Structure 1
Amino acid sequence: MGLLSVVAVYGSGTKLSNGHLPAAYLVAIIAMLFTAHSYGRMARYVPVTGSAYAYTARGFGPSIGFLTGWAMLLDYLFMPMVNFMLCGLYVNSLFAGIPVWAGTLGCMVLVAIFSVIGVAWVGRMNAFVAAASILVVITFVTLAVLNAPAVDLHTVLQPALPSDAGFGPIFAAAAVVAFAFLGFDGVSTLAEETKEPQKNIPRGVILATLGAGLCYFLFSLAGSLIMPDWTQIQNVDAAGTELMQKAGGDTLMVVFVVVNVLGLILCGTAAQMSVSRVLFAMGRDGLMPKALATLHPRFKTPYVAAGLVTLLCITALFLTLDQAVYMINFGALIAFAMVNLSAVKSLYVDRKLRGGMGTLRNLVMPLIGFAFVAWLWTQLSLLSFALGLAWLAVGVIVLVVRKRSGAQVHLALDDEPAPAAEQRLETSLI
């Protein structure tokens, strides 16, 4: 998840919301914060690789966990695809002689190499790109306000409030722009490679969601000021270049493309590492072939799983951006819903963490998060449901075949806090 990922769905989100994209982001921020809270709660008690798969498997058993992980694979498999596709689009916007497919393929090869090398360098590079992204966003927002046709209370509030059509378009757009938040859950997939995961994973999940959400809201609000008539957008898939050029001319547009391409490579690497680690966890637990749990002898990364993801990502050369985004949101929203339910089942029901703020943290907030996500899920297109349900059907077949083959399932519980320590953890951490 990069700060500039808001531009990936700016055009389609603005169209769906009928020019009220900031309002859609406010809805998405609320929904994602409740869900991020559930991820953080589960990360404290299940600090192992696997994210939604690991949490659901421990709450509802390996079979439901597998199907949740299978749905989540749509998120993680298509996320790097979207990054590769956007990279190709933006490279083509600067260098028209380079076909979109060539830029997409080049980004794919780079990410394949980086995902095997490991996570250490990603953090250092991400800090630089994050700082550059913040500067680009600040510059864009400033220039958009200064160069906007009109800036008054009405023009600022109008896109942040529902239109005459009500909340329908807002919720429909919120279900799509939730794509921009994807990645906060990826933090939890690296639990076994993080220092003090019980403390740092929950904090990182919440801060990443809140910080990115506010940035997205400001960006979309500035976009509505500099281009109040959203029908002027000529290329919906690469709307960011048009916004930047309108606000700050060619210079800002070029800087934006360069920073965004770097960010897309990093986000693609993070996404590919996340899905490879989910496959690693499922292979280790016996729900997928054991070969996926093979680590590189030098880099200690799941290189077999990473290689499989790269092969699957080649399909990005034959998909549209909208198709990839729809598939991501279907799988991601299922995973988010199940993590909210798993927080209730694992923490409130099974572990009986109900004292003090326990009921609020482990029951009320996860159920609110589930309700928000369930509503957003109903706003997705029929195409999303058709393809997503077909994917789940394949997952059921895989699960049945694995069970009939006699595969042994073992859930790793490394570093899970002992019951005696859970109440101390509950009262000592926010």
Structure 2
Amino acid sequence: MSTVDRGAQQPGQQPGQQPGQQHGQQHGLVVDGKLRRVLGTPSLVLFGLAYLVPLTVFTTYGLVTTETSGHLATAYVVTTVVMAFTAVSYALNVRAHPSAGSAYTFVQRTFGARAGFLTGWVLMLDYLLLPMINYLVIGLYVNAQFPSVPAWLVVVVAVALVTTLTVVGITVVDKANVVLVGVQLVFAVVFVAVVVAQVGGADAPSLTAPFVSDELQWGTVFSGAAVLALSFLGFDAISTLSEEAREPRRTVPLAIILTTALGGVVFIVLSWASQTALPDWRSITDPDSAGLQVMTEAGGQLMASAFLAAYIAGCVASATASQVSVARVLFAMGRDGVLPRRLFGSLSARFLTPVGATLVVAAVSLLALVIDLGTLASIISFGALAAFSLVNVTVIKGYVVDGGRRSPRDLALYAVVPAVGFLLTLWLWTNLTALTFQVGGVWALVGVVYLAVLTRGFRRPTPQLAVDHTP
């Protein structure tokens, strides 16, 4: 997709019509419109880090720490290694397909429209639910610190705030991310410094216990690592902004790699510090809000209050970034005609953002009022790992099989790396719970049924995403 010259009349544009509206305007919405390219590499990395949430360690801290018998840090090392391979596959795919559809586009262009649709459908599972998990933990943590404030009220207020930000536009989100990510990183540095200052004492815990101890069981570590896949959805989300990035074939792949590397380091360091501050995992009283207990142990009530403020900032940043991303995936599918075009495939004439898709995501996010954290985290990881596995395969098919890239160097980059990524993500995927597979299986079955209806029993072709590429 080429950059629009806003001072010139475009092909098909009527006299007096604003650029970007030549595809038709209905009631303030730009149908089949184009997103604006305003993001560079730093903004994309900030977006990815906002999506990851540097403090997301505490979203599943209690759940995974108890699951792994106190080896959260080891689980994060495993997940980081797996995600590194998959991040390379995403970066390679973006170079070939720089559009807003992410894995939906990658699989569609490589394996066909039906495979693309089903991938997009599975991808929507984690994209739709990731904003919800942020709203859920905001409610849980605020209620844990201030029991008189009902969690449901906090959730509703947070959904309204984030939805407003995402409707107003990507540049507002970009500016908000600078502040929200900065607050988290400052707190993370202070927290780690406080913990490090305490480890020199006579009663200091073992520095290696968060990684290796007599209680280490690799089976539970792998199960925990599978759940932690949701923590790395930020690098995947960056690819959904390819139509709003400058020089997307260069900036987006670089941002994907940088975000994955930085996120992994931050997660491992914070998980180590957290388990060092609270070495006895059996003393966790409430797994859903165990981060407050860690902070109280590390620095008293003052540290706990500072953590709550920084953590809420992080959750708002992640909810904003994830809501922006899923709205653009839905926009890509709506513009394609896979989803109702009038609702999903239209842009606001004023803000040039997909308002209809954004409001649908906000409505789904209100399910945070009725779902529990453990189930939600596992279901999100189901969708993420399924999409990650397919993206790894598309690199092999697109570059080696179809593209003929078969020199020793090409085979190492385009075959070996994605093959390892595929096997590792598939391995983590199989470590999720049976309930997760039941929910994910039902979602996939609904997608197949919807596709059958959409194509009149598979007799009609599946609509394909039509996006021009920018070099």
The TM-score with structure 1 as length reference comes to 0.93
Which residues in structure 2 correspond to 1:333-412 (within 5 Å)? 333-355=385-407, 357-404=409-456, 406=460, 409-412=463-466
| Aligned-residue CA RMSD (Å) | 1.9
Is the 1:36–1:209 Cα contact (8 Å) retained in structure 2? yes
1:352 Cα offset (Å): 2.0
From 299, 311, 324, the equivalent of 2:376 is 324
State yes or no: 1:229 paired with 2:283: no
Partner-residue secondary structure (3-state), 1:335: helix
Paired AA for residue 252 in structure 1: M
Aligned residue identity for 1:5 = T
CA contact (8 A) 2:71 2:216 kept: no
Residue identity opposite 1:377 in structure 2:
W
**Structure 1 pair 384/95, CA: closer, same or farther in 2 (3 Å)?**
same
How far residue 410 of structure 1 moved from its aligned partner, in angstroms, is: 2.8
SS in 2 for 1:156: coil
Could you list the runs of 4 or more consecutive aligned residues of structure 1 that deviate by over 6 angstroms after TM superposition?
149-154
Q: Secondary structure at the match of 2:347?
A: coil
Please report how far the alpha carbon of residue 289 of structure 1 lies from its aligned counterpart in structure 2 after TM superposition: 1.6
Are the aligned partners of 1:151 and 1:225 in contact in 2 as well (CA < 8 Å)? no
Distance 1:228 1:25, change over 3 A: same
Equivalent in 110, 115, 139 of residue 190 of structure 2:
139
Whichever residue aligns with residue 180 of structure 1, its letter is S
Cα 1:416–1:123, aligned 2, differ >3 Å: closer, same or farther? Answer: closer
Note if contact 1:277-1:302 (Cα within 8 Å) is conserved in structure 2. Answer: yes
Q: Structure 1: which 5+ residue stretches go unaligned?
A: 418-430
Please name the residue that 2:299 is paired with: 248
- CA drift of 1:24 comes to 0.6
Amino acid paired to 1:97: S
Does the 8 Å contact 1:48/1:412 carry over to 2?
no
1:215, CA displacement in angstroms? 0.8
Given the alignment, which residue of 305, 322, 346 partners 1:271? Answer: 322
Structure 2 matches for 1:14-413, cutoff 5 A? 14-148=65-199, 155-161=206-212, 163=214, 166-291=217-342, 292-355=344-407, 357-404=409-456, 406=460, 409-413=463-467
Classify 1:67/1:152 alpha carbon distance in 2 versus 1 (closer, same or farther; 3 Å).
farther
After superposition, give the CA deviation of every residue in 1:184-238 in whole Å (9 maximum; x if it has no partner): 1110001101111111111111111111111110111111211110111111111
Change (3 A) 1:203 1:410: same
Structure 2 CA distance for aligned equivalents of residues 286 and 15 of structure 1: 45
CA distance in 1, matches of 2:377, 2:203: 34
Q: What is the rounded CA distance, in whole Å, between the counterparts of 1:163 and 1:302 in structure 2?
A: 52
Percent identity, please.
38
Once the two structures are TM-superposed, the CA of residue 113 in structure 1 deviates from its matched residue by: 1.2
More helix by share: 1
- Give the distance between the partners of 1:246 and 1:122, measured in 2 at CA: 34
SS of the equivalent of 1:158 reads coil
User: In 1, Cα distance between the equivalents of 2:216 and 2:253?
Assistant: 38
TM-score in terms of structure 2 length? 0.85
Q: Distance in 1 between matches of 2:129 and 2:302?
A: 31
